[in-house]
Amino acid sequence: MGTDITVLGVQGYFLVSFWKPILLMIPFVGWAWVISAYYDKHAARFFLPRQMWNVIHLTAGLLAVVVGLIAIPIAGEGAFWAGLGAMIVIMAIDLAAYAYVANKDERVPEEFHIRLDMERIRAAREAKSVAKKQGKVELVLKGPDKSAVPVPNADTPEFALRVAAESLVLKALEMRATQIDMAPGSKDGGYIVAYLVDGVRQAGAPLAPADAVKVIDFWKSVGKLDVTDRRRRQSADVTIERGTDKHKFRVVASGATGGMRMTGLIDPEKQVKRKAAELGLLESQMAEIKALVEERQGVVLLAAPPDMGRTTTLYTILKMHDAYTSNVQTVEMEPQDSLEGVRQNFFESKAEGGEYSTLVRTILRRDPQVVGIADLPDEQTAKEVARAEVDRCRVYLSIKGDNALAAIQVWTKAVGDPEVAAKVLHGVTAQRLVRKLCINCRQAYQPAPDMLKKLGLPADKIKQLFKKGGQVLIKNKPEVCPVCNGIGYIGQEGIFEVYTLGVPERSLVKAGNLSGLRAEFRKKNQPTIQQVALRKAVEGITSVEEVLRVTSEGSGGAPGGERKAPPAPAPVGSA
């Protein structure tokens, strides 16, 4: 009997073994197909821990197969079906576990969630593509009266316009732009859109004239400006909210040749806020500034080309004076930011018989201790400053000029009398702004000795410099740097010249001896703008290209303007 059973058993095993394993194969192949054709790609696409999941799948698969195979030799059909069932359950748990974890992961967008219901997946994808075509409203826009602009119904032209108007601002925020410009001028008759990022214009996608005019009108209406008046210059401050982020957006619109022009300023007063330590002054320069602040008498010129940080420097130096123990005042054309404790006087050009110089004279006669004058619109203003009793008062005069010597020339000429101009002059600063390299993507390189020689840098000491990158490698594939949006630079820093003037320097100004003055400044061991700029390039803060862009003669920081050949800079020395 025992023998028979054995034979029967073996026979039975062979009899069933042909279809039983095949039956086991069917769910296994299906499971394996889902893993390799769908799950693994899904994990790779959304950067989920792919290796870990492959180990889990492999373990689950092996376990399932082992459970299925173990059940085969056990006598009785029930054992086999139980084994098959257990195998399917194990594989189903594995599939469900991945789906559950992946669907919870925020890297996986909703429409790519794993679902059994294919109809829902398709519906979700369709909805997404429709939304993408139509755009969506992401911002809360508030007019000058703080009331929110209602969002129009989707599928209306107003909705599409709102999306287009928002997209300009969203792009600007993404690029960290401080200004958006829109004006006619594209070759095909369209409107040029440009974003000002760290003082340099970056081109945006141009707009068709009809669309651009609608967008400008939209922003004017948000600012409660007169939309029908397309010529006059109008401006308004509106508020833009994106989640918890809040921005002031100053809309400035006016007529332009062939259409309208709009400038949008993002958080304008933030641009002039800087701590003294963040200006970019060298330690020795900071010491000179502090000494000048202590002195509290005479005139100090603060020079820079337009848009090169003059107002920021004026404000920062004024803040170094104690506005609570001394009388600090300003004279300004337009308010840029409010200064705590400082009395700010704004010039109103429309006022009857008003001249800027008259306002300056009025303020200086009030016996202030510190006055910051933000503009030098005419010679009369300089004459009023030179005539004031500056032995009891410090006057900072913000002036357009490429460097310290040029600023002194402008000042002397405006005053009209070198003796008067020299007598009151105690100091001069000049500055420009360089963009800082993005540390995330800057590229080190070995500079050619020729280039270093041309720049006046010691070739034997400088082994590497940095240049802008703009791209980073992600999984060995170059992608736009997410930190600087591919620009290669992020943020700006001042490069300064700071000189104090004593008796010998003043007599040279009086004599109009500029080369003598230059030699005197050199003796003080205070670096020039170009020397400071190159030092920052050597330190990897900025690039040689950026130094040349900013310091080239007459560049004036003209964004995107033609670059003239840079003048040969003086040697930096062994510093």
Strands 394-400 and 200-203: unpaired
- As a whole number of angstroms, the distance between CA 130 and CA 143 comes to 30
3-state secondary structure of 277: helix
What DSSP element (H or E) covers 500? Answer: strand 489-500
> Which lies closer to Zn ion via its Cβ, residue 361 or residue 442?
442
Minimum CB separation from Zn ion for residue 466, in Å? 12
Q: Are 223 and 236 in contact (CB under 8 A)?
A: yes
Q: Comparing C-alpha atoms, which of 313, 326, 331, 338 is closest to residue 374?
A: 331
Report how far residue 178's alpha carbon sits from residue 520's, in angstroms, rounded to the nearest whole number.
40
Reduced 3-state DSSP string for 522-534: HHCCCCCHHHHHH
484 part of the interface to Zn ion, by CB under 5 A: yes
Query: 362 vs 440, which CB is nearer to Zn ion?
Result: 440
Question: Toward Zn ion, which CB reaches closer, 60 or 441?
Answer: 441
84 binds Zn ion (CB under 5 A): no
User: Please, what is the minimum distance in Å from the beta carbon of residue 463 to Zn ion?
Assistant: 23
User: Which residue in the set 86, 164, 483, 514 belongs to the binding site for Zn ion (CB under 5 A)?
Assistant: 483
Closest CA to 412 of 435, 390, 382, 436: 382
Count of residues interacting with Zn ion (CB under 5 A):
6
480 binds Zn ion per the rule CB under 5 A: no
Q: Which is nearer to Zn ion, 225 or 481 (CB)?
A: 481
Q: Candidates 43-51, 379-387, 476-484, 519-527: pick the segment binding Zn ion (CB under 5 A).
A: 476-484
Nearer to Zn ion, 298 or 469 (CB): 469
Residue 437 CB, nearest distance to Zn ion (Å)? 8
Our finding on whether 440 is near Zn ion (CB under 5 A) is yes
Query: Which residues within the stretch 490-549 sit at the binding site for Zn ion (CB under 5 A)?
Result: none
Distance CA 411, CA 420 (A): 11
Select the span of 187-195, 328-336, 440-448, 454-462 touching Zn ion (CB under 5 A).
Answer: 440-448
Contact track, Zn ion, 393-432, x by CB under 5 A? ----------------------------------------
Nearer to Zn ion, 482 or 512 (CB): 482
Measured from the CB atom, the residue of 68 and 486 that comes closer to Zn ion is 486
Among 303, 457, 481, 517, binds Zn ion (CB under 5 A): 481
199 CA to centre of own chain: 10
* Cβ 488 to Zn ion shortest distance, Å: 6
Q: Determine the residue type at 297.
A: Q
Q: Kind of pairing, strands 328-332 and 343-346?
A: parallel
Q: Indicate the residue type of 354.
A: G
Alpha carbon distance 517, 550 (integer Å): 24
* Residue 238 Cβ vs Zn ion, minimum distance, rounded to whole Å: 31
Select 50 or 176, whichever has its Cβ closest to Zn ion.
176
Structure tokens at 560: 């995107």
d(CA 341, CA 203): 40
Find the angle CA(380)-CA(382)-CA(386) to the nearest 5 degrees.
Answer: 115
Closest separation in Å from C-beta 561 to Zn ion: 24
Q: Kindly state the smallest distance separating residue 176's Cβ from Zn ion, in Å.
A: 12
Looking at 68-76, 456-464, 475-483, 511-519, which segment touches Zn ion (CB under 5 A)?
Answer: 475-483
Residue of the chain from 253, 302, 438, 509 that contacts Zn ion (CB under 5 A): 438
Q: Which CB sits closer to Zn ion, 212 or 438?
A: 438
Q: Which is nearer to Zn ion, 314 or 490 (CB)?
A: 490
Minimum distance from CB of 194 to Zn ion (Å)?
20
Give the separation between CA 218 and CA 164, rounded to whole angstroms.
10
Query: SS3 letters for 292-325?
Result: HHHHCCEEEEEEECCCCCHHHHHHHHHHHCCCCC
Which one of 104-112, 381-389, 441-449, 532-540 is the stretch in contact with Zn ion (CB under 5 A)? 441-449
Longest dimension (CA), the chain: 134
Of the two residues 220 and 436, which places its CB atom closer to Zn ion in the complex? Answer: 436
In angstroms, rounded to a whole number, what is the distance separating the alpha carbons of residues 516 and 530? 20
- Rule CB under 5 A: say whether 197 interacts with Zn ion: no
The angle that helices 503-510 and 514-523 make with each other, rounded to 10 degrees, is 160
Q: Choose which of 415, 422, 441, 541 interacts with Zn ion (CB under 5 A).
A: 441
| Piece of the chain touching Zn ion by CB under 5 A; list 5-13, 133-141, 345-353, 479-487 | 479-487
Matching residue, tokens 């821990």: 49
What DSSP designation does 35 have?
Answer: I
Stretch of 160-168, 299-307, 410-418, 437-445 lying at the interface with Zn ion (CB under 5 A)? 437-445
- Quick one: which of 487, 358, 517, 307 has its CA closest to 422? 517
d(CA 355, CA 370): 21
Q: Can you tell me the distance from the alpha carbon of 429 to that of 426, in angstroms, rounded to the nearest whole number?
A: 11
Q: Which of 131, 134, 126, 141 is nearest to 156 (CA)?
A: 134
**Of 13-21, 322-330, 434-442, 540-548, which segment contacts Zn ion by CB under 5 A?**
434-442
Stretch of 129-137, 216-224, 395-403, 473-481 lying at the interface with Zn ion (CB under 5 A): 473-481
End-to-end CA distance of the chain: 104
63 or 483: CB nearest Zn ion:
483
> Closer CB to Zn ion, residue 216 or residue 438?
438
* Contacting positions for Zn ion (CB under 5 A): 438, 440-441, 481, 483-484
